[in-house]
């Protein structure tokens, strides 16, 4: 069973690639954003907790995020593995994921990070903002702040997986098919 952490800054193409990879390798795509939205929309106990922090302008604590992910994993049908999208974002979350998987004699096989120049990301997100309806994709200042936060947050997570020799940076610029091929080369080596 393969478990991949798919990472990259906003606009890197994680969602697009996760959709392709889940079909190609029969993986379950676990998007933290989707999990949060579902729990908050349905007022689950964890969703209510998360909403209480978000409404105060605070970050949702790692413990709530980790519990949501564990709950979602427990609901899934058997598959060939998982793509974790947007998780872990902190060292505490990475350690919690490792501990959770270890209880099932499993582990993260790789963190695959889509690497894209900041200026390309800004262009992509502004373009996406024209059709997505997302306010955070329409404001260049907000976009640059999101990218800055990503770089600060993920530096620690990147080094966490580098120390385990599980970090793989992939060029995230090119056609969708070219980027998919680069990612598949990494995954196919993991399976051998």
Binding site residues for ATP, as ranges? 11-16, 128, 174
14 is catalytic: yes
Please report, in range form, the residues annotated as the binding site.
11-16, 32, 37, 58-60, 86-89, 93, 128, 134, 146, 174
> Looking at 3, 22, 89, 124, which residue is catalytic?
89
Please report, in range form, the residues annotated as the binding site for AMP.
32, 37, 58-60, 86-89, 93, 134, 146
Alpha helices (H) along the chain: 14-25, 32-41, 45-55, 62-75, 91-102, 118-132, 140-163, 176-191
- The values of phi and psi at residue 46, to 5°, are -70, -35
89 is catalytic: yes
128 is catalytic: yes
> Looking at 3, 22, 124, 146, which residue is catalytic?
146
Which residues are 111's β-sheet partners? Answer: 5, 167
Is residue 28 a contact partner of residue 4, using CB atoms and an 8 Å limit?
Answer: no
> Looking at 24, 41, 70, 134, which residue is catalytic?
134
**Structure-token pair, residue 157:** 């997570």
Active site amino acids: 14, 89, 128, 134, 146
């Amino acid at each position: 069973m393969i478990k991949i952490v798919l990472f990259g800054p906003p606009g890197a193409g994680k969602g697009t690639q996760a959709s392709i990879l889940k079909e190609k390798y029969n993986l379950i795509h676990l998007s933290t954003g989707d999990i949060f939205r579902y729990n908050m929309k349905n007022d689950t106990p964890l969703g209510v907790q998360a909403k209480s922090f978000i409404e105060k302008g605070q970050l949702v604590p790692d413990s709530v995020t980790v519990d949501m992910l564990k709950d979602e994993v427990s609901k899934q049908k058997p598959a060939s593995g998982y793509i974790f999208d947007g998780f872990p974002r902190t060292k505490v979350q990475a350690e919690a994921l490792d501990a959770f998987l270890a209880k099932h004699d499993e582990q993260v096989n790789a963190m695959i990070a889509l690497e894209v120049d900041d200026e390309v990301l800004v262009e992509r997100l502004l373009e996406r903002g024209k059709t997505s309806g997302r306010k955070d994709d329409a404001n260049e200042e907000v976009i640059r702040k999101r990218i800055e936060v990503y770089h600060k947050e993920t530096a620690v997570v990147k080094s966490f997986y580098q120390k385990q020799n599980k970090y793989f940076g992939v060029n995230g610029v090119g056609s969708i098919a070219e980027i998919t091929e680069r990612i598949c080369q990494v995954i196919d080596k993991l399976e051998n």
